[in-house]
Structure 1
Amino acid sequence: MTSQNVRDLAGGHPPSPEARVLQTDIRFVEFFGLPGVGKTTTSSLLASGLRRCGPLVGDVRIWPETRTFIARQIHRVGIVAPRFKDREFRSLFMRIARFAIESGQSSIVDVVKVIWNMSVLLAYVQNERERKNTITIMDQGLLQGFWSVLLKSKHRATSEKWFDILAAIGVDDMLFVHLRAETGMARDRLLKRNDRSSRMQRTSADRDLDLWSAADRTCRELAADLEREMGAEDHVGVLASVDVERLASPEDVAERALEAVLLGCLERHRRYDDSADR
Structure 2
Amino acid sequence: MDATNPLVTRASELRPTRIRSSRRVSDRLLRVFCLVATVLGAVVLGSILLMLIVEGVRGFSLTLFTEATPGPGSEGGGIANAILGSLVLTGIGILVATPVGLMAGTYLAEYGRGSKLAEVIRFLNDILLSAPSILIGLFVYTLMVRPMGTYSGWAGGVALAIIATPVIVRTTEDMMRLVPGTLREAGAALGAPPSKVIRSVTWRAASAGIVTGIILALARIAGETAPLLFTALNNNSWFGANLMGGVANLPVMIYQFALSPYPNWQALAWAGALLITMTILALSIVARFVIKPQRAR
Q: TM-score, normalised by structure 1?
A: 0.30
TM-score, normalization: structure 2?
0.29
Highest RCO, 1 vs 2 (Cα 8 Å, sep ≥ 6): 1
Compare the two structures and name the one with the higher helix fraction: 2
Larger-Rg structure: 2
